[in-house]
Amino acid sequence: MRKLRIITWICFLLSAALLGASTAYYAWKEDKTLPVIQCPEEPLVLSVRDSGGAALLRDVTAWDDKDGDLTDQVLLEGIDRTAEGEITVTYVVADSDRHVSSKSRALQYTDYTPPRFTLSEDLRYTMGSSIRIKDRMTAVDVVDGDLSDRIKVNSNDLSPYYEGTYPVTFEVTNSLGDTASVTLDVVVRNYAAGEPRIHLTQYLLYRTAEEAFDPREYLDSVSGGSVDGVSIQLPEGGLQKGTSRVTYSCVGQNGTVGSTVLYVVTE
């Protein structure tokens, strides 16, 4: 009986030793190194139109001590904006042991602009009607395209039941975290009998300070009046940086004055 116990203990110790040796061997053999992604230190400069996967991966390589060249397995993890306002592109790659590495690089767009709003009609509504601002306002972005479903309308006292002019702020944010906003007047007022209605080709315009501006280029037609009879009033001092109001007015046949506004955002 004693010999049996001794043999059993010997077998147990041998098994434990073999298991420990095997574990140590595989632990020693296991690849613990991470793959390395390399790219130039200088920012990647691209046009927004060229920012597809291949362009964003330009000059990016990856290497792993065990697997060798992993360049063709590098993936684009995302494009973000830092707290300092810098745009960065992040790459990621995994080796055969599922070790993952990532690396970020500064990205500069040559033609980037923040999101912009468009307005197809003036923001005037008759009393008691449904105020559907998003039916006439859209937002577009050079990176994300149509952002209309992300427009936020900020107003505390807008009501369709009380006549008045209500300042309303519109905001939209793209995938880079860049937020654009504009404050426009929503007018709640019934149309008077014989009041002419002035129609513009657009009601919200973006421009640079260097661009020429001819307000008559945006005058389309007049219902109940004549285009030739439309007077245009620019803000005192002309268009300034930020949002300016250009007012178009016309007198109807019975002497009633109608007007509309073109909002001009000078960047």
Domains plus CATH for the chain? 36-109 (2.60.40.10), 116-266 (2.60.40.10)
**Pairwise CA distance, residues 85 & 87, whole Å:** 7
Q: What is the DSSP letter of 192?
A: P
pLDDT at 250 over 80: yes
Q: How large is the average pLDDT for residues 160-169? A: 95
**Pairwise CA distance, residues 100 & 35, whole Å:** 7
Q: Tell me the three state secondary structure of residue 131.
A: coil
**pLDDT tens figures, 134-143:** 899 999 999 8
Backbone angles phi, psi at 92, to 5 degrees: -145, 145
pLDDT value, residue 25 = 45
Residue partners of 67: CB distance under 8 A and separation at least 6: 35, 95, 96
Where is average pLDDT lowest: 14-28, 49-63, 73-87, 183-197? 14-28
Please state the pTM of the whole predicted model. 0.76
- Give the chain's mean pLDDT: 88
pLDDT at 119 over 90: yes
Could you tell me what percent of the chain has a pLDDT over 70? 88
C-beta of residue 206 within 8 angstroms of C-beta of residue 180: no
Q: What is the DSSP letter of 168?
A: E
C-beta of residue 117 within 8 angstroms of C-beta of residue 147: no
- How many beta carbons lie within 10 A of that of residue 21, not counting itself? 10
pLDDT band (50, 70, 90) for residue 28: very low
pLDDT at 201 over 70: yes
pLDDT value, residue 155 = 85
pLDDT at 13 over 80: no
pLDDT value, residue 197 = 96
User: In 3D, which of 186, 201, 250, 261 has the Cα closest to residue 223?
Assistant: 250
pLDDT value, residue 26 = 46
Residue partners of 245: CB distance under 8 A and separation at least 6: 235, 261, 262, 263, 264
pLDDT band (50, 70, 90) for residue 131: very high
